[in-house]
Structure 1
Amino acid sequence: MSTIGTPELLFLLRGLGWTLALTAIGFVGGIAFGLVVALVRVARRRWLRTIAAAWIAIFQGTPLLMQLFVVYFGLPLLGVTVPAWGAVAIALTAHASAYLGEIWRGAIQAVPLGQTEAAHALGIKYRSLMRDIVLPQALRLSLPATIGFLVQLLKGTSLAAIVGFIELTRAGQIVSNQTFKPLIVFGIVGALYFLLCWPLSLWGSRMERRLARDRR
């Protein structure tokens, strides 16, 4: 039975680094594509809204694990070979875009309609209306929910272990198999996840309370 020493801890920290990298890729990609989804979701043309609604329904209505499998095993069938981290990044980005798009769609529609009507009366074009009036307020309103989703996305990266990618959870499995001390190893892994997620959860709760005070 091996002991848990510096090499094992460094291996776990390397896995933690990949967990953070996957979270950053998925979140940044989700922000970019999610904003498009949100804007299409509130577009004037019905067929555009239908496409965005279908995208959201697919990725919210299916497990993230299944989405990882479809990307990882499906793309090679189409002749597109991607590494494990690339497949995970694509799946996380698509998954995040659906959730963030719906969060921001709700925030956009929460902006008082009178502001949009006033902008139209002043002759402000749609692009300026969204960029200068609606989106700044909507993004502020959606910040607590966005932070909450970031926490879920960070924990969701643990599913990358299923396709063989070595992030924090997979690193924990490997160290556990080597040392035969699963309770200690996954206790460390759980503590690392907690240290990442707990401050974000507190930040989201603080932002939610601040917005509630501002509405009074």
Structure 2
Amino acid sequence: MMKPLKNYNMPRQFNINKATIGLMLLIITCSFLISCAVKNKSAQPESNMNFNNKKILMVIAPKDFRDEEYLEPRKIFEQNGIIVKVASIQSGVAIGADGAKVKIDLTVSQVEVNDYDAVVFVGGPGMAEILNDESMQLLAKKFYQANKLTTAICVAPAILAKAGILSGKQATVWSGVVSDLAAGGAIYLKEKVVQDGQLITASGPAAAVAFAEKIIQSLK
């Protein structure tokens, strides 16, 4: 006749080890989850936190502005959490040289300089036609005198020169209007992007990304 099995109790040491292992696994799991959370947080662009409530005014010609000089910087600005508004000498919808359509938020005469941290004058053949517009030059001067970041790309640095704010300053510009910088007393540098204090200038569409990145760095 088979003997009944004895009630076998695990040794106390085994039970303790099992509990210890469980606790270790719990600690490891928690550490992993915390690490992932920290990593995800650090992976978020730091600039989004730095640039909350920052605003940039982009100024374009009502027609034939250079599309990439507007589109590429705007994309970079907005990716960094910056609010972008667009101004021109006319209200309505501006049409780029390559067909981009942009709704104008306000006219140049409606701009309140203190509402913005920087101004960006966009170039293009349309801007070349209005370099002598007094309202554009006055806007550039107001931003500069308010110690705001005052920037321009392609032919648009000529507006800064005509506004009288590039005298004795280093700057670059589209090759076709270098003479306008010289007439305004600027020190012309044949480079893609040039910064002299609160002034940032760029030579053309090939410099659009570097131009935007320099503006971002200067707003930090």
Question: TM-score, length-normalised on structure 2?
Answer: 0.24
Ranked by relative contact order (alpha carbons within 8 Å, sequence separation 6 or more), the top structure is 1
Computing the radius of gyration from Cα coordinates, the structure with the larger value is: 2
Q: Which structure carries more strand by proportion? A: 2
Higher helix share: 1
